Structure 1
Amino acid sequence: MAIQDLFKPLAMKRGPTLKNRLLLAPLTNWQSDDQNGIASEYDLNWITNCAAGGHSMVMTCASHVHQFGKTFPGQLGVYSDAHIEGLRSIADIIRSHGGISSIQIQHGGARVQPARGGTPVGPSCLPEYHARGLTLDEIHNLRQDFVAAAKRAETAGFDGVEVHGAFGWILMQFLSPRFNKRTDHYGGSFENRSRLLFEVIDDIRAACRPDFQIGLRLSLETRYEIKLSEFQQVAARAFKEEAIDFLDLALGDYRNIAQEAPFEGETVLSIFTALPRGAVCLGASGHIFSASDAAFVLEAGCDFAMVGRAAILDPNFPNNVQKHPMYSAPSLPVSESDLRQTGLSERFITYMRTWRGFIAQDME
């Protein structure tokens, strides 16, 4: 796969065509108003830098769909109409640079932060998280929270949303037999455990305009005791039903090799690229720091690459790849002053200090 293939347009089943195959991954950044989740000037600056940097789709950080689902300090909100004005500014910025806009919608579930207003809830009672199990009425309300968030994104002028089914948040908690001990139609079999995820997707598809793009993010951590074959089932169903427009695999490292039967020795990526996917696009993130990394992901069968840490190091990553086919983002660790020079806010830098090996303290 040639580097120039990264800059071929990508048409999805619905919505506008992407100008290239390098998309901005949804990145936690602690930048929004901590009291109300309204987008801040720091959010707008970050989005401006990434949109101007050439990312074809610019996605927000995980944005909580309910006030009590807050998971991070300074988390962007999409649970109130009060958020729409700030979100509209984000969508306008992205559009002005020729990009496609998406909000990642999320609820922390059992892993919210009570100290920041969150109320821990999960599929079942989870004493280790001080979380109680949701009632059926509350599950219905949760579905409506995701729909209302998507509708706000639509009202604000976004091209779509990404449903966050990864990293152990509420939808992944329902998928997980470790978290989900329910005995009703939301628990037990994998069909039941995946029910809420697909209901949320279908609800959003029914509520929003026909060309509204919907993505789904999955991560494959073993600590949630979800089998790799079960993740493959989710992907296969999503591809078959075509209610989503793209699947975003958060792999940690795109080169990961499966250790679980019956896939031992295969690349994790190949387990998903081998599936028939109709009109649904497939992409991956994880350790994509160079032009060759991104090209490899496409060579492996993906339609696009999600740029995460490389965008933090260099928001201009796509433009630099296009100009310099051998381009690599700066090597880790970097100094805080390096990050400031890229335009990263102090709030974002504070968050990046929590990432082991990203910032070298002795370089300051």
Structure 2
Amino acid sequence: MTSPAAPLDFAHGPSWPNRIALAPLTNLQSNPDGTLSDDEYAWLVRRAQGGFGMVMTCAAWVSEKGHTFSGQLGTSGADHLPGLTRLATGLRAAGAVSTIQLQHGGRRGDGQFDVSRAAPWNDPAKNATAMTTAEVEATVADFAAAAALAESAGFDGAEIHGAHGYLLCQFLDARSNDRTDKYGGSADNRFRIIHEAVDAVRAATGPDFQVGLRLSPERYGIPLADGRELAAQMLGSGQLDYLDMSLWDAFKQPHESEHHGRRMLDHFTDLPRGTTRLGVAGKILGGDHVRDCLQSGVDFVLIGTGGILHHDFAARVIADPDFASIPQPVTAAHMRAESIGPAFLDYLSTNWDDFVAG
């Protein structure tokens, strides 16, 4: 079995010092204009100091139209560059490879930044208007420009957010995406924006810049068969350095009963991947879970909850294979000691019932 402490190399960019990465986590700590705050800097750099081989930002909007919620990081223009440069520099100095996650909210935006949300189809309930073909193409270009900005700031790579029901994931929805242009209807058309975004980011950045992609392979209107097929296409494309499969629970049975019999992660480990690395995220809360994933054939794991609860989750697992995250909920004092700022603490307390006690 590959050790979690083993370095991981890629077709582009630096090797990661180990196989444990920080997942992209909404933390609501950015300034209102999307610039980096001191609290967000401290939260992320502390994880680099805690031994994560790669540290990824939260979802960062690629355009004003894609700005999804308050406290979200931005990567759409010169005003964001100083903070992004500071963050990339701090992560590198702390020993981690740095990655920014690029995102557009689409119809999932909270509506405060744009009265009419951009979406693949008209959705009056969400005050969302179907994008024209030209607008879809312009959005692909926005992802490329944001990646180029991140590279100029000194980030080692960027991950394209194609998961969790945000804009790119919305195009994958087999229930609702009945567009009649090249971006709707057939599976190949629904997948098109993902391929184009990856190709555009790759073309806009240099040979030492890592390009990743996050996918949700089920729900959000995505049949598991579609999720597996898109994952296979992306793993085989030669354009990605890694594919990040966000599974919510890597060890559960699929949502669709006809696919029961194999855990979620096992539906992807058998796909040919060439030089593309495969990572999984979802309830990986201790050394035993990390070992299980690596033994099952993934190349790396992405840690969410464990990384919130322990800034040094990665270092602890590498030092002690039996380390397990502290039981939840935890005290606010524990969170503050782990560099969770006031806005992030409020988000965890308000939106999740199992993080913060009292």
Which bracket does the TM-score occupy, shorter chain normalised? over 0.9
Partner of 2:317: 321
Q: More deviation in 109-118 or 145-154? A: 109-118
1:221 shift after superposition: 4.0
Counterpart amino acid of 1:211? Answer: D
Partner of 1:287: 283
Match status 1:150 vs 2:147: yes
Pair 127,202 (structure 1): closer, same or farther in 2 beyond 3 Å = same
Match status 1:227 vs 2:223: yes
1:209-246 deviation digits (Å, cap 9, x = unpaired): 01211101012342x22111111111111111110110
Counterparts of residues 83-98 of structure 1 (less than 5 Å): 83-98=80-95
Q: More deviation in 288-297 or 257-266? A: 257-266
CA contact (8 A) 1:291 1:326 kept: yes
1:322 shift after superposition: 2.2
1:68 shift after superposition: 2.2
1:262 shift after superposition: 5.2
CA contact (8 A) 1:259 1:265 kept: no
CA contact (8 A) 1:33 1:39 kept: yes
Partner of 2:64: 67
1:105-133 deviation digits (Å, cap 9, x = unpaired): 00000111222446411111112211000
Describe the SS at the equivalent of 1:273. coil
CA contact (8 A) 2:65 2:118 kept: no
CA contact (8 A) 1:291 1:325 kept: yes
Describe the SS at the equivalent of 2:44. helix
| Cα RMSD for the two superposed structures | 1.4
Partner of 1:29: 27
Match status 1:303 vs 2:299: yes
Describe the SS at the equivalent of 1:254. coil
Q: 175, 183, 187: which is aligned to 2:184?
A: 187
Partner of 1:41: 38
CA contact (8 A) 2:103 2:160 kept: yes
Partner of 2:50: 53
Match status 1:121 vs 2:118: yes
Describe the SS at the equivalent of 1:20. coil
CA contact (8 A) 1:314 1:342 kept: yes
How many Å separate the matches in 2 of 1:273 and 1:167? 21
CA contact (8 A) 2:115 2:127 kept: no
Partner of 2:346: 350
Partner of 1:274: 270
How many Å separate the matches in 2 of 1:336 and 1:146? 36
Partner of 1:10: 8
1:140-174 deviation digits (Å, cap 9, x = unpaired): 11011101100000100011100000000000011
1:89 shift after superposition: 0.7
CA contact (8 A) 1:67 1:118 kept: no
How many Å separate the matches in 1 of 2:324 and 2:206? 39
CA contact (8 A) 1:113 1:119 kept: no
Partner of 2:128: 131
How many Å separate the matches in 1 of 2:234 and 2:281? 19
Pair 332,234 (structure 1): closer, same or farther in 2 beyond 3 Å = same
Pair 244,78 (structure 1): closer, same or farther in 2 beyond 3 Å = same
Pair 14,262 (structure 1): closer, same or farther in 2 beyond 3 Å = farther
Describe the SS at the equivalent of 2:112. helix
Match status 1:216 vs 2:213: yes
How many Å separate the matches in 1 of 2:325 and 2:186? 43
CA contact (8 A) 2:213 2:240 kept: yes
CA contact (8 A) 2:116 2:129 kept: no
Describe the SS at the equivalent of 1:146. helix
Number of matched pairs: 358
Normalising to structure 2: TM-score of the pair? 0.97
CA contact (8 A) 1:122 1:179 kept: no
CA contact (8 A) 1:33 1:76 kept: yes
1:315 shift after superposition: 0.8
Describe the SS at the equivalent of 1:83. helix
Describe the SS at the equivalent of 1:103. strand
1:268 shift after superposition: 1.4
Structure 2 unaligned segments of length 5 or more: list them: none
Pair 356,43 (structure 1): closer, same or farther in 2 beyond 3 Å = closer
Structure 1 unaligned segments of length 5 or more: list them: none
